[in-house]
Amino acid sequence: MPTQIKIVITSPECTSPSQFADGMVKLQVNPVLEELNRAFNEFSHVVKARPSPSTAALLENIRQELMRYVNVVTLHMNIGNVVGLLNHLIDGQHTTKKIKLATERVRVENAIRGFTGDK
């Protein structure tokens, strides 16, 4: 069973329980990594449906970046660096958005070239 870590960060301005509940930010490692993995799998699927040298290179660069990302997250978990872990989880959410945007961009470019399916 994979380990799931819950990190709860509160704002320093929180002085009452209601402010605590309103100002709470929760990030969990597994959901961030799973969403990142789903975005990469979708991108990989779209790229492999209509391969080209440029998209293949982009796919490989993203794959290597994700491997480095997972290694750094693991390092922060192992040494207990909560701030570093939190920063990388936020970075992972931004990276997920960028991968989703790249996926849509490749789909649009494929459609412009006359290729409409990615299956």
Instruction: Return mean pLDDT, the chain.
Output: 80
- Binned at pLDDT 50, 70 and 90, residue 36 comes out as very high
Give me 20's structure tokens: 């605590």
User: pLDDT tens for residues 1-25?
Assistant: 444 445 444 444 544 444 444 444 4
User: Per-residue pLDDT for 49 more than 70?
Assistant: yes
Q: Which two tokens stand for residue 40?
A: 């990469």
* pLDDT score recorded for residue 72: 92
Q: How confident is the model at residue 93 (pLDDT cuts 50, 70, 90)?
A: very high
Percentages (nearest 5) of helix, strand, coil residues in the chain: 70, 5, 20
This prediction's pTM: 0.73
